[in-house]
Structure 1
């Protein structure tokens, strides 16, 4: 599943490529996840110009003229691909065709990727915008595992399975720690690691992708990778299941319970 860094880079690429382009048509191939009738989506977007693409949590938001917004959640297997030679990509969910002949498509083998017209504003803070005091107060109340908390999109938006491992490894805190048991100095480490890890990943992925809408990249991971057996420091990487998701960690990460 694409997480905050990948989605931030996708938003940057889409903005560079399509900002200012007038929409010729939106093509809906899979209707089941759309929150409005197809006719309403087409009517709302007909002839509108793409003004900007931003990331909101783990979704992309396409901002068109006339205050029209389309949210795209890629879910587990969704991808973005450029349209070429007028051919419809396999597993297409929907596509945006611009009057200059360019366009891009949202595809998903599982057909779970979700487009939303006029998505509701999010309540939970974004991982890159959350205030330190808010973050500290949040952890002080929680008894769930720290990794589970970091992945909870109703609490903090943007972090998923991969980057929760990267953040906690960077901070030196075990994913099995109980948030309210974590000392304030280590809470501060996690908070700082969120920004450090995510911003570095955005920089690395942007450099690798260029203008290509390449899928989720894990080449820059320090711990969350089945190809890695030890960290750069020589620590043995272990795995376990948390919430049904594979977690990568080391015994050097401090456990607070």
Structure 2
């Protein structure tokens, strides 16, 4: 699933490529996961200029000249895709055809990606925001007996963090993912607050270094522990894996367990 650094790069590049283009026609070949009607989408989006594409939590937001917005949640396998003319990419959920003949689609072979017209704004802070600081984390963790990884990935507490980057953040902060949230000392919470921003910003830099025009896919080769083919961390410790359901947690004994 695309996470904050991926979505930041996608939105940056898509804005650069598509800003100012006018939507000639909107098509929804797969309306099953649509959060509104096709008619409402057409009425509000067609003939409008695309002004910006940006990230909000785990979503992409497409903003238009009439102040309407589309929220795209890519879910596990959704991807933005560019196309020309009327030939949509395979597995298209929604497609915007622009007046210059180019187009932007969201595809998903599983059909789980969702489209929402004017999604509600959330009061839950984004992981990249200034609000997610030491004070906020201390307050958030204080009453929680859950594992720290579970807390960080709870979208009702902090928006945007997913499985891979949470592992990387906790490794950077040297905190075990199985630590009990309210047992983590204040000094380590301060380190964690810094690690969140540093790891996410570095992720953006690494992805752009790999492909400055990337608009889809997940580039993870630079990750220090969340990597299926790596056996040791940069510190020389064995990378351990713990699987719950379909989710794998990667960690090492360098990370302290607070319980």
After TM superposition, the score normalised by the length of structure 2 is 0.96
Where does residue 127 of structure 1 map in the other structure? Answer: 127
SS in structure 2 at match of 1:83 = strand
- Once the two structures are superposed, residues 12-46 of structure 1 have per-residue CA deviations (whole angstroms, 9 ceiling, x without a partner) of 01110011111111110110111111011011111
Where does residue 226 of structure 2 map in the other structure? Answer: 224
- Once the two structures are superposed, residues 89-120 of structure 1 have per-residue CA deviations (whole angstroms, 9 ceiling, x without a partner) of 11111111111111211110100000100000
CA contact 2:20–2:50 (8 Å) conserved in 1: yes
Where does residue 117 of structure 1 map in the other structure? Answer: 117
Where does residue 41 of structure 2 map in the other structure? Answer: 41
- Once the two structures are superposed, residues 185-218 of structure 1 have per-residue CA deviations (whole angstroms, 9 ceiling, x without a partner) of 0011111000000000011112222223230111
Partner Cα distance (1:66, 1:58) in 2 = 24
Partner Cα distance (2:85, 2:99) in 1 = 14
Partner Cα distance (2:218, 2:142) in 1 = 33
Where does residue 181 of structure 2 map in the other structure? Answer: 179
Where does residue 154 of structure 1 map in the other structure? Answer: 156
Report whether the alignment pairs 1:142 with 2:151.
no
User: Displacement, 1:139?
Assistant: 1.2
Partner Cα distance (1:187, 1:140) in 2 = 11
RMSD: 1.2
Where does residue 209 of structure 1 map in the other structure? Answer: 211
Where does residue 61 of structure 1 map in the other structure? Answer: 61
Partner Cα distance (1:215, 1:150) in 2 = 23
SS in structure 2 at match of 1:211 = coil
Partner Cα distance (1:51, 1:160) in 2 = 28
CA contact 1:20–1:50 (8 Å) conserved in 2: yes
Partner Cα distance (1:246, 1:198) in 2 = 19
CA contact 2:45–2:68 (8 Å) conserved in 1: yes
Among 197, 200, 211, which residue is 1:198 paired with?
200
CA contact 1:148–1:242 (8 Å) conserved in 2: no
Where does residue 23 of structure 1 map in the other structure? Answer: 23
User: Displacement, 1:244?
Assistant: 4.7
User: Displacement, 1:233?
Assistant: 1.6
SS in structure 2 at match of 1:141 = coil
State the aligned residue count.
257
Range that drifts further, 204-213 or 141-150: 204-213
User: Displacement, 1:229?
Assistant: 0.7
Partner Cα distance (1:197, 1:212) in 2 = 19
CA contact 1:18–1:50 (8 Å) conserved in 2: yes
Partner Cα distance (1:52, 1:12) in 2 = 9
CA contact 1:148–1:243 (8 Å) conserved in 2: no
- Once the two structures are superposed, residues 217-250 of structure 1 have per-residue CA deviations (whole angstroms, 9 ceiling, x without a partner) of 1111111010111112211000002465100000
Aligned ranges 1:1-20 → 2 under 5 Å: 1-20=1-20
